[in-house]
Structure 1
């Protein structure tokens, strides 16, 4: 089966997206590049756009694309409780007819309010994927503890493995892949290079071969999302180049 390639709208940059007319305006580019789907980013909506999710869902379907939905929200709040916005976010993902909702882990603790989380997921019928972000909450130890708890509780949750974010928090991406690979349901593909006192994302073919070895250590049959900068005069051609690269690697 051909692996699925998703294009994250944020890869084009906020200014480009706004100038184009919002995320809906990128769908012809992504479809023209022969990608399988689009990752819609909640933080890139205007308040007015957030009110038109059914229209966006129809446009995505008309373009022949799958959708996933990313919200810049933690699953767990600073006090260890579940984010009270999660039911509303799951409903938004459902309105978009998304494959899953993606959030970050947040402040996971051993209080484990998993019965409520299971109820919310069962009620929505929506899958949840939890990403390692660029904060201490997204480091390997808390991600491991949460993942182990999900297995124990048999929760319908998988992980988004962001290949670059481990570097931002000082963890080894390779060690993370060794520990978490069996639970990964979605991969955010990006390479990173040192930039000042941190890192910046770059296209993988501009990076050292490390990115490919890391990608090969992850499941080959889960969707891959392009989350590195997509820039150029012809965005469809640029996007198609990387869709083809990630589909065959």
Structure 2
């Protein structure tokens, strides 16, 4: 199976990306490692990238990579209203030629808002994926309620399943997979280990076999994103190692 593997630029660390000159500088590494795509993180933009998204989009295409665009924004604000910045974020995703925009859920309460969301998505022509984050909003019950509402409303919104984030919110990743697998269109692959009073992300093969069993309970044909630390003197080699591992596993 020619499974698509994406590399999240944040996997290289904020300092490394900044010192390299921005996310565009990581594209040759990701392409040389044999990845299919890159996940661009809005929070990592430098001033030049923020000012000229089209140029970054061209660079991604020149490196023959697909793109995902991740914004550190909730779909729903604390008062339960849709985030008014979403249309702008969808436009930015389109400028980057991204396959989808990824956001967190936030405080979803009202199914009546889904018609407005449908209109926004139809106008943008960009797909939307909602990720389980490391807040209470990213726990299994709200993610289930939102997914069920989208299904009932026939709304074309799917999920990013972050394998590690469930631990941050004290949920079982395996239980989440049993309930949410039909709605998953993208998987953030990472393991996590206890660290102080929380967790820290680690490479999946550093955390035993749990990650393999979890991946087998999720859709096998959806893209997988590397979102664990990629460190070392040869970033291309270490990236290639995990691209190959996730494509084969």
**Stretches of structure 2 lacking an aligned partner (at least 5 in a row):** none
User: What residue number does 1:196 align with?
Assistant: 196
- In 1, are the aligned partners of 2:69 and 2:98 still within 8 Å (CA)? yes
- In 1, are the aligned partners of 2:186 and 2:224 still within 8 Å (CA)? yes
User: 1:46, CA displacement in angstroms?
Assistant: 2.3
User: What residue number does 2:130 align with?
Assistant: 130
User: What residue number does 1:110 align with?
Assistant: 110
What is the alpha-carbon distance in structure 1 between the residues aligned to residue 112 and residue 149 of structure 2? 8
- In 1, are the aligned partners of 2:82 and 2:113 still within 8 Å (CA)? yes
**Stretches of structure 1 lacking an aligned partner (at least 5 in a row):** none
**For 1:153-188, what per-residue CA distance to the aligned partner results, in whole angstroms no more than 9, with x for missing partners?**
111110000000000000000000000001100000
- In 2, are the aligned partners of 1:30 and 1:236 still within 8 Å (CA)? yes
**For 1:129-149, what per-residue CA distance to the aligned partner results, in whole angstroms no more than 9, with x for missing partners?**
000000000000000000000
**For 1:90-136, what per-residue CA distance to the aligned partner results, in whole angstroms no more than 9, with x for missing partners?**
00000000000000000010353011100000000000000000000
Measured on the aligned residues, the alpha-carbon RMSD in Å equals 0.7
The count of residues paired between Structure 1 and Structure 2 equals 249
User: What residue number does 1:143 align with?
Assistant: 143
Q: Secondary structure at the match of 1:121?
A: helix
User: What residue number does 2:10 align with?
Assistant: 10
What is the alpha-carbon distance in structure 2 between the residues aligned to residue 124 and residue 47 of structure 1? 25
Tell me the TM-score normalised to structure 2 length.
Answer: 0.99
- In 2, are the aligned partners of 1:74 and 1:83 still within 8 Å (CA)? yes
Displaced runs of 4 or more, over 2 A: none
User: What residue number does 1:207 align with?
Assistant: 207
What is the alpha-carbon distance in structure 2 between the residues aligned to residue 120 and residue 244 of structure 1? 37
